[in-house]
Amino acid sequence: MTASPTIEDQLAAVDATLDATLMGTTKWNESRIPVLRGTFARLLKQVTLPTSETSSKPILEIGSDGQLASAKVLCELSGLGVTASNLVVKGLQSRVGEYPITVRQNDIGALDFPDSSFSMVYGRAVLEHISDMDDFLLECDRVLETGGVLYLDGGPLFYSPRGHHMAVKGPSGTHYGFAGMPDLLPNWCQLESNEDELFEHLTTVKDIDEADARAVAHYVFNSPEQNRMSATMVKDAFARSPFAHLEHEPTFMKKAVPSAELVEKYGEFDLTCNGLAFFGNSGPEAAAAAAAVPSNSNAAAEQSHSNAGAAGPSDTATPTTDPTPRPLWRRAASKAKRTLTR
């Protein structure tokens, strides 16, 4: 029997694949290499990936990147095929190369795949874009085989300092992005101002062209691409999901300090939690195995970012959008369906 590769071996494969896929394309793509490597370093420490020796079913990537970099890494690490899905797939097929990648146009909120189709569901930087988290997680569970692996992360979440997630092209042709222009918008402007106030800030303080400023301000407060969920809301949705056992890992923006007024209204954890990553398995076998393993929850880390006088998860101010918990019958039906079909 061939010895399992070490994490160091796997990361070497990650580095080689990312370099081959992204180096020499654009500066933006090259700048993403360490970010993607960090994602896979975290993933490999958290879960055991399916392989061609443990499953015959492919991996589903939700929200594939334009160069198929993550899909190619998943192919290299697992030896399995990858279904790379996105709402916009123009040009992706030409980048598949010799990898066993199938490109599928698919809305992130409606997974158009048969039951138990995949050994893993992987989605990077997707949690902030999912409008109906409860239905989405039901769908993830439905398309996973028993014991399949789930990895989903996302950020910046809406209540975090850059939760406005500015990513818009102005009428002038200038691209405005939160990563490339971190100081253009004030931290938490999506919570502390309105569209007209942000427009005034952009034109008078930042000297932005009025048409571009209007486009940016409108995007921040009206874009359907953001779900406007706080970290607590996302965590609650996962807690309601049918997954047997999930761990999560938060990331924080340590340099951004919210005002006392914001903390009192929203709670320090939601204001400083920039992103969340969730990982685990589906099915009853995974639940039994997980029960024997001490939990790796981040309660202590999250508690250190909560304010003693701030509202807790159950008594925060009413959010912009408040996902309604799905009725218990829907969750029971989902579990019954898994039992019958797996």
Asked if the bond preceding 224 is cis, omega within 30° of 0, the reply is no
pLDDT of 328 higher than 60:
no
* Bridge partners for 177 per DSSP: 167
Spatial separation of the C-alpha atoms in residues 4 and 11, rounded to whole Å: 13
CATH number of 7-157+228-341: 3.40.50.150
pLDDT-based confidence at 87, cuts 50/70/90? confident
- The answer to whether 272 and 258 are in contact (CB under 8 A) is yes
DSSP-based three-state secondary structure for 175? strand
pLDDT digits (tens, 9 = 90+) for 247-259: 999 999 888 999 9
pLDDT digits (tens, 9 = 90+) for 32-77: 999 999 999 999 998 999 999 999 999 999 999 999 999 999 999 9
- Mean of the pLDDT values across residues 103-112? 82
> Which phi and psi angles does 57 have, rounded to 5°?
-100, 145
- Mean of the pLDDT values across residues 228-239? 96
What one-character DSSP code corresponds to residue 251?
A: E
Side chain identity, residue 253: M
CB atoms within 10 A of CB 45: 10
pLDDT of 297 higher than 50:
no
- Mean of the pLDDT values across residues 127-140? 94
Least confident of 88-92, 299-303, 330-334: 330-334
pLDDT-based confidence at 165, cuts 50/70/90? very high
Q: What is the CA radius of gyration of the chain?
A: 21
Sheet with 118-123, strands from edge to edge, namely 101-105, 82-86, 59-62, 118-123, 144-154, 273-281, 245-252
- The answer to whether 279 and 297 are in contact (CB under 8 A) is no
- The answer to whether 147 and 94 are in contact (CB under 8 A) is no
What one-character DSSP code corresponds to residue 248?
A: E
pLDDT at residue number 187: 97
In the chain, % helix, strand, coil (3-state, to 5) comes to: 40, 15, 45
pLDDT of 141 higher than 70:
yes
**Domain ranges across the chain:** 7-157+228-341, 167-222
- Mean of the pLDDT values across residues 137-141? 94
Please report where in the chains the tokens 């500066």 appear, as a residue: 27
Percent of the chain with pLDDT over 70: 81
Chain centroid to CA 67: 18
> Which phi and psi angles does 27 have, rounded to 5°?
-60, -35
User: 217 is written with which tokens?
Assistant: 């301000």
Tell which residue, 163, 167, 290, has the closest CA to residue 234: 163
User: 220 is written with which tokens?
Assistant: 């921040």
Please report where in the chains the tokens 């990513």 appear, as a residue: 167
User: 154 is written with which tokens?
Assistant: 């996302």
pLDDT-based confidence at 305, cuts 50/70/90? low
Handedness of CA 332, 152, 107, 160 (dihedral sign): positive
